[in-house]
Chain A
Amino acid sequence: METNQKENAPTNVVGKPLDRVDGPAKVTGAARYSAEISVPGTVHGVLKTSTIAKGRITGIDTSRAAKEPGILNIFTHENLPKPAKTPKQIEKWRAAQSYLPMQDNQIQYAGQPVALVVATTLEAATQAAALIRVTYQAETPIDSYHDPKAELFDPQKIQQGKKDGHVVRGNPQQAYNGAAVKHEATYVHAINHHSPMEPAATLAVWEGADKLTVYEASQNVTMHQGNLAELLGMPREQIRVVTKYIGGGFGCKGSFWPHTILTVLAARAVNRPVKLALTRQQMFTGVGHREDQEQTLKMGATAEGKLVSIVHTKKATTSPWDNYTESNGKVMDMLYACENYSTVYELARANVMTSVWMRAPGEAPGSFALESSMDDLANQLNLDPLEIRLRNYADYDHSNGKPWSSKSLKQCYTRGAELFGWSKRNPKPGQTRRGKLLVGHGMASATYPVHSSQGTARVRLFADGHAVVEAGATDLGTGTYTVMTQVSADALGLPPEKIRFELGDTRLPTAPGSGGSVAAGTVASSIMAAAEDVWDKVVKMAVADKKSPLYKAKPTDVKVELGRMFLSKDPKKGETLLAALGRSGQPDIEGSGTGKYGAGYEEKNFGQNGANQNDDKQKPGGHSMHSFGAHFCEVEVDPDLGTIRVTRWVGVHGAGTVLNLKTATSQMTGGAIYGIGAALMEDTFRDPNFARYTNADLAGYHVPVNADIPNIQVEFVPETDPYINYLGVKGIGELGMVGVAAAVANAVFNATGRRLRSLPMTPDKVLEALRLPA
């Protein structure tokens, strides 16, 4: 058996633009999301949340609420049963926020749960929640890092102590001071909310005192199970978390939030299954957000435009308890060839819940600053934006000195420029008009790391020619069901309709959640490892079977490709897995395996030969692993109204093996649009006096609608990468969004001659910029 896979395995179904296998269920309404699971006896939970952002509860009057029909209980901090442990007491707490509300009378943020009503109907629970009267002793809250009352502090470590708050390479300040060309600018990013279409939901079903099933809108069932086990003081295996379908997440459903445990505790107390879905308004104060932040970026370059220094600082708002902030610096550390680099994070505590990873956390706002500054430098030096990027092209990863496992950024630039017609762009800003509209063209680079991850899978091949493949992953709409069906089909040599791939259940083998773009590569590798286990067993059967063409062959001389076993030296001599299994009389055969993604895969298959990386997720490995891409954008700016319309988009990416061209293209298209939303309209506004959101719904928080979006052209350049995982897959969940806001801002600069450095680029900001001289 050849397990040391030096080249990516041959494929048949993998890569094809197969329709989604879960598509029929989704277009007919048959797909059931977490709040739609039908469990007899289910009752409804509704949260009541605080109207103040800081202070304490002085009284809760539930008398009127209790008169609603069908009320089973109204829980407050006074009567809600306590969990075995609070997050603060849990050493391995796996979530951004460590604060659990409803444990005492303290209020730390607006929208914090203060009561949970359980009733037989949703209407009664909703009405009762409205009728509860809560009185508060309010204090003046702090709304953000720019509140005069806020105190910026140096967190030393960020993200629960997992990442350094200071990163320094070389001598960045000195290099900056001596640079021939200098550029310094500050970039502001508004608060953004993930806003998946499906609100967060929990359906908690207790079977006795020590067995719990939770249907949760979860990007990571293993994480939810682990945290619940700790909070409840129960063994993991007594808790089952199920997520068969999830209506988007974008990060917010990949962390653990208060409503889940509150619902579970309430369900135990009322002895009924309890279903609780956050309202859309509660989605703005219930599941995190991308934090409000500003970055100051100083870049020094030679007269030829070669970077000599990048000095980056970030200020951001965090919660009263946690030091979460996105690591914007990592993209600046590695995207270009630059010997001197530093980043420093400063945080301020405010009365807000803890922010959390949101699609391309760090890379999205970080690339906005970096790629806008690069555009400015290009303009300053009279260079084409593509040219300055090529002059600073990193042939290896300067953040750690390692060679790339693969990198196709130059091909992305070339192909993107060709598709877009970049050579026809007028380099002079403010010169191109279409009627009264100003037209501009801009571009930016994209990149995202291959994080190290691993998972397990089980493959059961039946002699009748079908297979069941299982891994406890999730499908956010990312296509996991579909692409894993394709991977399984090729691993076993079966048509995809003969594969049933199951996911989203802690009873299945443990797999990573959907986050950090690790799911596709990890689960695919796990399935291949499990399939190899099946191959091994069937090969052993075949070499011992007189009727097999492989009879008496050494198992190590046998190779398996696309479900067929054959002699490595004489490929004609062989047979299918199914032929051998069929003769054995066994109805089926089962295999399991652990697959690795990223550095762990390289280490296992290629040995250790590299330096440590400045990231706990990255184990020692020889190569630096990233996907890359390039965005090209055309905008029209209305000089009278200040409106910006994106009219054309081209994105070209190098992301290793593409498992399904159709779903991958859709995901990259969606990434670009998600980025356009952040660039042009997404802004949750926190009132500076009350620290409450003033636009916490989908009428006030604008996300792109169909009419906002032109056709988006996406291509992948062919790329083979033997180091990252069995099939050479790089995740694409985040990549498509990185650099998008900068590409838009750069196009706006080309259209107007004005540089907008505050997101979103709303008409008021555009008009203000246009009033000032270019």
Chain B
Amino acid sequence: MPGPTTPAPLNPDGSRRTFMKQAGGFLGLALAPPFLSQAERLTALSKKVEGVSTISLKVNGTVRAIRAEPRVTLLDALREYLDLTGSKKGCDHGQCGACTVLVDGRRVNSCLTLAVMSQGKEITTIEGLAKEGGELHPMQAAFLKHDGFQCGYCTPGQIMSAVACVQEGHAGSEAEVREWMSGNLCRCSAYPNITAAILEAKGQMG
């Protein structure tokens, strides 16, 4: 059974400062002098993060707290703890891109990211892309128009990746889009339509 837990302070604004305090454990370890033995470093790590604690995640502009162990990935936190099932689990190993979300504006594989490390960051998932009231984001609308999907399972990851691809300035040409979207697998193989959708949405994203 898990040891006694110290609930992390609930952090309604999800500010970076609180995150830094919690991350201090990790950061300290990384900077620890070499005379600390590996065992001591690991002991320190396990003490710091063992057991169920409160993890605050700012998802789509709202801070929500979950009670979960530190080994919970951001993807599982979204899907299993917050019931935000738009982010998909295709491989759980960062090989398929179906779990792609934006963290502080960067696309990341949420299956390779721990929830506990994502505190204090702005997490955007597919559920947070459309405007309130339901107006689709230009990328969502373009995927719909160009039929950039069939089964739809890779689609949230494709769209999140596509939004970042444009924002990164990697949507300059068809070839560039193809290259920078190759971390997102689509087994139905809607690739030509995905590429067309991105090139169109690019002009409308401002």
Contact = CB atoms under 8 A, between A and B. Distances in A.
Interface of A: 19-20, 22-33, 35-36, 38, 67, 69, 121-123, 127, 195-199, 245-248, 250, 277, 279-280, 476-479, 662-663, 665-667, 669-670, 672-674, 697-699, 703-712
B93 A280 contact: yes
Contacts of B143: 23, 27
A706 B95 contact: no
Contact of B140 (A28, A35, A127): A28
B155 A26 contact: yes
B189 A673 contact: yes
Given A24-B144, A248-B151, A29 B192 contact: no
Contacts of A67: 1
Interface stretch (B8-16, B21-29, B33-41, B83-91): B83-91
Contact of A197 (B85, B126, B153): B153
A19 B141 CA distance: 10
Nearest to A662: B147
20 contacts: A19-B144, A23-B143, A25-B152, A27-B155, A28-B129, A33-B85, A123-B72, A196-B187, A245-B152, A247-B153, A248-B150, A277-B89, A280-B95, A666-B190, A667-B150, A698-B95, A698-B96, A705-B183, A706-B191, A712-B192
Centre residue among A23, A476, A704, A712 by max chain B CB count within 10 A: A23
Contact of B79 (A30, A36, A123, A127): A36
Most chain B beta-carbon contacts within 10 A, residue among A19, A20, A197, A699: A197
Contacts of A250: 187
B150 A477 contact: yes
A699 B93 contact: yes
Contacts of B104: none
B147 A28 contact: no
Given A197-B185, A674-B189, A706-B182, A477 B149 contact: yes
A490 to B, nearest CB: 21
A33 B153 contact: yes
Contact of A27 (B83, B90, B136, B181): B136
B155 A706 contact: no
A155 B76 CA distance: 46
Interface of B: 1-2, 68-69, 71-72, 76, 79-80, 83-93, 95-96, 98, 125-127, 129-130, 136, 140-141, 143-145, 147, 149-156, 159, 177-179, 181-195
Nearest to B154: A197
A620 B80 CA distance: 52
A29 B126 contact: yes
A670 B150 contact: yes
User: Chain A's interface: helix, strand, loop or mixed, by majority?
Assistant: loop
Nearest to B2: A69
Given A697-B95, A698-B91, A29 B86 contact: yes
Contacts of B129: 28
A246 B150 CA distance: 10
A38 B83 CA distance: 8
Nearest to A197: B153
Nearest to A677: B189
A762 B59 CA distance: 43
Nearest to A70: B1
Given A121-B68, A705-B185, A709-B192, 16 more contacts: A26-B149, A29-B84, A29-B125, A33-B85, A121-B69, A122-B76, A195-B187, A198-B90, A280-B93, A666-B147, A669-B193, A670-B189, A706-B177, A706-B178, A706-B194, A708-B182
Q: Which of B92, B145, B177 has the most CB of A within 10 A?
A: B92
A673 B195 CA distance: 15
Contacts of B1: 67, 69
B150 A705 contact: no
Nearest to B136: A27
Given A28-B140, A69-B2, A706-B178, A196 B95 contact: no
Contacts of A706: 177-179, 181-182, 184, 186, 191, 194-195
Nearest to A246: B151
Contacts of B154: 197, 247
A29 B145 contact: no
Contacts of B76: 122-123
A589 B129 CA distance: 41
B187 A197 contact: yes
Contacts of A196: 151, 153, 187
Nearest to A649: B192
Residue among A478, A698, A699 having the largest count of chain B Cβ atoms under 10 Å = A698
Q: Which of B2, B130, B151, B192 is most buried by chain A, counting CB atoms within 10 A of its CB?
A: B151
Contacts of B85: 29, 32-33, 36
Contact of B152 (A22, A663, A674): A22
Nearest to B149: A26
Contacts of B83: 38
Contacts of A195: 187
Contact of B144 (A23, A31, A197, A672): A23
In this complex, the member of A31, A38, A665, A708 whose beta carbon has the largest number of chain B beta carbons within 10 angstroms is A31
Nearest to B142: A27
Contacts of B145: 19
Contacts of B178: 706-707, 709
A145 B185 CA distance: 32
B63 to A, nearest CB: 20
Given A199-B89, A709-B191, A478 B150 contact: yes
Contacts of B147: 19-20, 662-663, 665-666
A666 B91 CA distance: 24
A550 B112 CA distance: 68
Given A196-B187, A662-B147, A247 B130 contact: no
A120 B95 CA distance: 27
A280 B90 CA distance: 7
A21 B11 CA distance: 40
Q: Which of B80, B136, B144, B188 has the most chain A CB atoms closer than 10 A to its own CB?
A: B188
A703 B185 contact: yes
Contacts of A38: 83
Contact of A707 (B87, B179, B192): B179
Contact of A670 (B79, B125, B136, B190): B190
A105 B156 CA distance: 42
Contacts of A199: 89-90
B186 to A, nearest CB: 7
A248 B153 contact: yes
Contacts of B92: 279-280
Contacts of B98: 197
A697 B91 contact: yes
Contact of A30 (B86, B149, B184, B189): B86
A123 B205 CA distance: 39
A386 B84 CA distance: 53
B153 A27 contact: no
Closest 6 CB pairs of A and B: A29-B86, A247-B153, A477-B151, A26-B152, A477-B150, A673-B189
A28 B126 contact: yes
B86 A280 contact: no
A248 B125 contact: no
Nearest to A670: B189
Nearest to A714: B192
B88 A198 contact: yes
Contacts of A248: 150-151, 153, 187-188
